[in-house]
Structure formats: C-alpha cells, structure tokens
Amino acid sequence: MLLGYARISKADGTQTIDLQRDALTAAGVGICHIYEDKMSGRHDVRPGLDSCLKALREGDTLVVWKLDRLGRNLRHLIELTESLSARNIGLKVLTGQGAAIDTTKPEGKLVFGIFAALAEFERELIVERTRAGLAAARARGRKGGRPRKMTPSKIRMAMAAMSDPNAKAHLVAEELGITTTTLYDYVNGDGSPKKVAQDVLNTSTENA
C-alpha cells in the first residue's frame, strides 16, 4: 500500500498543500492515505508524520513530494529511512533533489546509499572531533561529556509505550521528560530499540 506525507511550513494561508496532495494522488496514493502537517520541519512534534509512521506496515511504501518535506535534517532523514528499511517499508520521493530515491528499486537504494554514506562520514567527523576535545580536556584534568538523557528504565518505558499503535510520540516524550528527537534517537516508531538504546540496555545488564 502507498501512504503519503505532505507538509507546509505555515498554516496562515500563505502556503497551500494542494500541490503536494495532487502530486501524491497522481503517484497512486489514495486521498484517505495522505497524512499532513502545517508547521515548520524543525518542530520535534509533527502529529501527521507520527500518525503516518504508525500506520505504515511491512511491505508499504511512504511517498513524499520532496525530501525536505520529510526530514528535519540529513541525520534525521537517514534515521527515518533506516527505520523504515528495518520494517521492510519503502520510501519514494517524487521530485526535487531526492527524486532518484525509491528504495523499492535497486537504483533508488544506491542513491540513498550515497546519502547515507555522506551522513556516516559527517557523523564520524563529529565523533572524531568530540573524542579529540575530550582527550584534550582530560589532559588538563577535566572530564567532559553530557550525562545520558535516557536511562535503561526510561528506554524500557519508551519501548513499551511506542509499541502501542495508538501511542503519540510527542506525548510519550513529554511523559518521559525528553524531546521527540531524543525519543526517536533511541526508539523506533514501532517500539523496537535502536543500537544506542540496545547498547545502554546491554551495559546495564552487564553491570547488574
């Protein structure tokens, strides 16, 4: 099944979502299967996107008009797509810079693989710089690094809450005292843990 997601940045009438709706329906998405948000992509809370991610099932394909309608940034976009891929859900972009991305086809997977490789390169640079900064701080007798926002108990609560198909990510995040971004950093939309969450849980088990 094809599910569509559309977003405009302003809800004051100066922008219209009709162009995206028309493109999605022309691509075969039923009008009742289009989820929408009217807010900036920088917002952590996007109810339409949350509902869309919850509604997607194995074998489905998420269709978006442009790549920038979906992710807040490259990192968020890569994480979303990796999460979809893990659930055997495809992603198809209709126009713009990401129009060659269709992860249901080999050539589309290749293009997305290039995006993912660039994101991984960027992450490695950040990690390398962070480690260098921490090493320099330790050499001066200081300890760096922020405490984890997610404890093992919080991760387990997040997994249990997000496994409910009716759960709202922004409400789960609010209950745990974290942002929706942090929630999705640790837990997928279906409640399964991401690698960083699994690492925390494994470390907790080893120290028990």
Query: Alpha carbon 155 to chain centroid distance?
Result: 17
* Two tokens, residue 188: 């997928």
Domain boundaries, the chain: 2-104, 152-207
Which sequence positions are flagged as catalytic?
9
Q: Which fold has domain 2-104?
A: Rossmann fold (3.40.50)
In whole angstroms, give the CA distance from residue 48 to residue 37.
5
Q: Which residues of 37-67 are buried (b: 16+ CB within 10 A; e: fewer)?
A: bebebebebbbbbbbbbbebeeebbbbbbbb
Question: Over 90: is that where the pLDDT of 3 sits?
Answer: yes
Q: What is the pTM of this model?
A: 0.55
* Two tokens, residue 27: 């691509």
User: Once rounded to an integer, what is the mean pLDDT over residues 26-42?
Assistant: 89
In whole angstroms, give the CA distance from residue 205 to residue 96.
46
Query: Alpha carbon 62 to chain centroid distance?
Result: 13
- pLDDT above 90 covers a percentage of the chain that reads 26
In whole angstroms, give the CA distance from residue 129 to residue 100.
33
Beta-ladder partners of 205? none
Maximal CA-CA distance, the chain: 62
The confidence band for 54, taking pLDDT boundaries of 50, 70 and 90, is: very high
Tens digits of residue pLDDT in 104-116? 787 766 766 666 6
